Structure formats: structure tokens, C-alpha cells
């Protein structure tokens, strides 16, 4: 099968969408399929890559406001027509809803190439964080219009599917997320890294991993940490990631360790070297960091939606409180720090519960859904 994936973000960019699409394309190539990635250039040095059945095509882009280092792609109808007439894909997968993605939808339909899409980011819920709240309904209408042009729209979790169905999105399918339990493992715990944080072997460390930005609700994470620290002054908080809010938070909270962006084994070592995972975001469609933390053997404290709703049994393999209930989140944080004797059992259960979350199963399900679309031709 020849699959063309159109996306505004892809490695080396670091975010959940880029990681998911990279895993998906790697799995497809490993099964003998050919994958074409069409994406915007992120800078002058950014060059398309062609390896092992996967090749990239880069197009012009412009910076995304509020998202340093990322660009949205500009429409390129002539390029789409040229490449897809030269080597027609069996199916087109539009992964993002910007000008590039919408242009791909238009050209695929004109050329009568089967089309699917995926919903990765709750842009319509970011309005209150970035000052465009009054446009949220219009944004949601646009997203619905784009996705309803596709034969299928993939979503990462059941609660996202339920919400979009209420908004009259059609033909929705769940495309979940796997987790690499060989990479993310308690075995990567590093005494040397913990020493660099200034903590002793028996000193607890809480961790946040993600974009350091408004939509991640980091002030609540920090507030919960401060309540926990009032009960155990030895507790340290490490924030892994980068973003527009980092500088201000570093200046305001010198007691917090800001580790910056981390990748691969380095990221996995940061996970495993902590004890608790504090994640208060309310804008995730899935939340890959939650399953990565669980696979690393951390006690995750989060809201009960997306990945947490699917995988966390409250009090058994993590802590998941009612969605956006800030009081419950803070209460759970204080209870967590009061009872460290419960951590070992939760950490072990968290690791165990991720061992069956396989990317192979995710990719097999994806291919089955693509086959169902092709059979409708």
C-alpha cells in the first residue's frame, strides 16, 4: 500500500503528534508499505529525509503564533497534483487541519484518491489560553467541515470520540497510542542524574514532562507541588520540556529544576529517575506522557480523561481525579505525599499495566481501517 501523510509537524519536532505519526510511519514501513510524508520546512537547514520506504517532501511554511519552532504549511496545489499524478497513493491521510491539510483534502477529492484524517489537537479548547476564546465555535465548525470531508477520522480516545460525535463529526474511529516499554522502563533509573538534581537516594522527586506553555496548566501542577512540599520539605519538582512559559516560571520558581527538552534514552532516564508524575493538563486528546510515566514506574496524578481514563485505575496503578476538578487534584496530591508507603505497589502496577499497550496492535488496527476505506471504492 502507498500512503501519503500530510502533517504540519514531524520529527525532529518534539510533541505528541510528531511522535505518533513517526511511530505510525515506521510501523507501516516495517510491514512493507510505502509512506510519503508531506510537511512544512521548519527552518532553512531543514532537509527532507528518504529512508527505508519512507520519503519526505517539504513545502513552504509560516511560523505558528504561540508555538515557537513550528510552522504551518502553505497551500501547494501544483505540488500535490504533480506528486500524486506521478506516483498516485492508494490513500491520503491528512493529520492536521491547517492550510496545507485543507489543500490536501481538496486535491485528494478532485483526484478521487481515498481520504482519511486524524484529530490530534483540541485547538478549539486552547482559546482561553491564547486569547481567541470568542472564536472557539468558529474553529470547531472549521474542524468539523475539514474532517467530515474524509471517509474516516481517527481520534485517540473514547472521550474524544464522544465529544466530537456530539458536535456532529462523522465516521469516527479510535486510533489509540502505544508505548515503548523497552525505552521507558524503571531500569533506567540513574543515581547519577538524581545526584545532579541535588537529591539523595531516599528523597522523593516529582516530574512534569511536556510543553511548558499555558495550555498544560502548569500553575496547578506547581500549586499541587507546593502543597505537597509543605508536608515533605525534601520533595523536589523537575520540569522536562521547553516552551514560551519557561522563562517566566524559572524566574518565579528558582526552587524548581527546569531540565529543558530531553529525547530518547535521555528522556526515559529522566522519567525513571523520578518517583511521582504530576500532570494537570486539561487539553489533551490522549496524553502520551501519561503512559510513558506509567511504563517508567511512576505514580501518575492526573485528571480522569483521555489516556488516564483508559489506563488508570484510581488508587491501583495511578491517581486520576474528576476532570478539571482543581480542588480534588490538590487534595489527591496531599494524600499522595502523606502516604509514601503506597507508592511501591502503585508504581509496580503502573509498569505492569503498560506491558500490553503495543504499537503493533495500534498499527494493525489502523491498517484494518484503511482496508475498509479502500474496499468502499
Residue-wise pLDDT for 274-318, tens only, equals 999 999 999 999 999 999 999 999 999 999 999 999 999 999 999
**What pLDDT is stored for residue 262 in this prediction?**
96
Classify residue 36 as exposed, middle or buried by CB count within 10 Å of its CB (0-12, 13-18, 19+).
Answer: buried
My answer on whether 193 and 136 are in the same domain is no
Q: Could you tell me if 222 and 330 are in contact, meaning their C-beta atoms sit under 8 angstroms apart? A: no
Number of domains observed in the structure of the chain: 2
My answer on whether 216 and 244 are in the same domain is yes
**What residues make up the domain containing 80?**
2-178+358-374
My answer on whether 148 and 253 are in the same domain is no
Pairing of strands 34-40, 50-51: unpaired
My answer on whether 241 and 344 are in the same domain is yes
Q: Which helix (H) or strand (E) holds 322?
A: none
My answer on whether 164 and 209 are in the same domain is no
Pairing of strands 54-59, 50-51: antiparallel
pTM of the entire structure? Answer: 0.92
For the chain, list residues with pLDDT below 50: 124, 126-127, 129-130
Q: Could you tell me if 284 and 12 are in contact, meaning their C-beta atoms sit under 8 angstroms apart? A: no
My answer on whether 363 and 341 are in the same domain is no
C-alpha cell at 134: 470568542
Pairing of strands 299-303, 152-155: unpaired
Q: What is the DSSP letter of 318?
A: B
My answer on whether 91 and 120 are in the same domain is yes
My answer on whether 256 and 370 are in the same domain is no
**What pLDDT is stored for residue 124 in this prediction?**
45
Q: Could you tell me if 307 and 290 are in contact, meaning their C-beta atoms sit under 8 angstroms apart? A: yes
My answer on whether 228 and 161 are in the same domain is no
**What pLDDT is stored for residue 132 in this prediction?**
52
My answer on whether 169 and 297 are in the same domain is no
Q: Could you tell me if 20 and 50 are in contact, meaning their C-beta atoms sit under 8 angstroms apart? A: no
Residues 6+ apart with CB under 8 A from 322: 303, 304, 328
| CATH code assigned at 129 | 3.40.50.2000
The 3-state DSSP composition of the chain as helix, strand, coil percent (nearest 5) reads 45, 20, 35
Residue-wise pLDDT for 177-201, tens only, equals 999 999 999 999 999 999 999 999 8
**What pLDDT is stored for residue 63 in this prediction?**
78
Pairing of strands 67-73, 61-64: antiparallel
**What pLDDT is stored for residue 348 in this prediction?**
98
Q: Could you tell me if 281 and 224 are in contact, meaning their C-beta atoms sit under 8 angstroms apart? A: no
**What pLDDT is stored for residue 122 in this prediction?**
58
Amino acid at each position: 500500500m502507498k500512503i501519503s501523510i500530510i502533517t504540519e509537524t514531524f520529527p525532529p519536532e518534539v510533541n505528541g503528534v510528531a511522535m505518533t505519526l513517526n511511530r505510525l510511519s515506521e510501523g507501516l514501513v516495517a510491514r512493507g508499505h510505502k509512506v510519503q510524508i508531506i510537511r512544512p520546512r521548519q527552518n532553512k537547514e531543514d532537509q527532507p529525509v528518504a529512508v527505508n520506504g519512507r520519503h519526505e517532501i517539504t513545502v513552504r511554511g509560516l511560523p505558528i503564533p504561540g508555538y515557537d519552532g513550528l510552522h504551518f504549511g502553505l497551500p501547494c496545489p501544483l505540488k500535490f497534483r504533480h506528486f500524486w499524478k506521478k506516483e498516485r497513493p492508494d490513500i491520503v491521510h491528512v493529520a492536521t487541519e491547517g492550510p496545507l491539510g485543507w489543500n490536501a483534502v481538496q486535491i485528494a477529492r478532485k483526484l478521487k484518491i481515498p481520504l482519511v484524517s486524524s484529530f490530534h489537537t483540541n485547538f478549539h479548547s486552547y482559546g482561553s489560553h491564547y486569547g481567541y476564546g470568542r472564536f472557539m465555535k468558529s474553529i470547531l465548525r472549521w474542524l468539523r467541515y475539514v474532517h467530515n470531508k474524509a471517509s474516516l477520522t481517527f481520534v485517540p480516545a473514547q472521550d474524544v470520540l464522544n465529544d466530537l460525535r456530539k458536535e456532529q463529526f462523522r465516521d469516527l474511529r479510535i486510533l489509540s497510542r502505544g508505548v515503548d516499554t523497552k525505552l521507558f522502563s524503571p531500569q533506567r533509573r540513574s543515581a547519577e542524574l538524581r545526584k545532579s538534581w541535588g537529591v539523595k537516594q531516599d528523597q522523593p522527586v516529582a516530574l512534569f514532562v511536556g510543553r511548558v506553555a499555558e495550555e498544560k496548566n502548569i500553575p496547578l501542577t506547581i500549586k499541587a507541588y507546593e502543597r505537597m512540599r509543605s508536608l515533605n520539605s525534601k520533595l523536589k519538582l523537575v520540569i522536562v520540556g521547553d516552551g514560551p512559559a519557561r522563562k517566566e516560571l524559572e524566574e518565579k520558581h528558582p526552587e524548581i529544576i527546569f531540565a529543558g527538552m530531553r529525547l530518547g534514552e535521555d528522556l526515559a532516564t529522566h522519567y525513571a529517575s523520578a518517583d511521582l508524575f504530576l500532570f494537570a493538563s486539561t487539553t489533551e486528546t490522549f496524553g502520551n506522557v501519561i503512559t510513558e510515566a506509567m511504563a517508567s514506574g511512576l505514580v501518575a496524578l492526573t485528571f480522569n480523561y483521555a489516556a488516564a481514563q483508559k489506563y488508570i485505575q484510581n488508587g491501583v496503578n495511578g491517581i486520576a481525579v474528576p476532570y478539571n476538578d482543581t480542588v480534588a487534584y490538590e487534595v489527591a496530591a496531599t494524600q499522595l505525599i502523606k502516604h509514601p508507603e503506597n507508592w511501591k505497589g502503585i508504581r509496580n502496577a503502573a509498569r505492569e499495566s503498560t506491558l500490553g499497550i503495543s504499537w503493533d496492535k495500534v498499527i494493525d488496527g489502523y491498517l484494518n481501517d484503511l482496508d475498509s476505506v479502500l474496499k468502499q471504492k
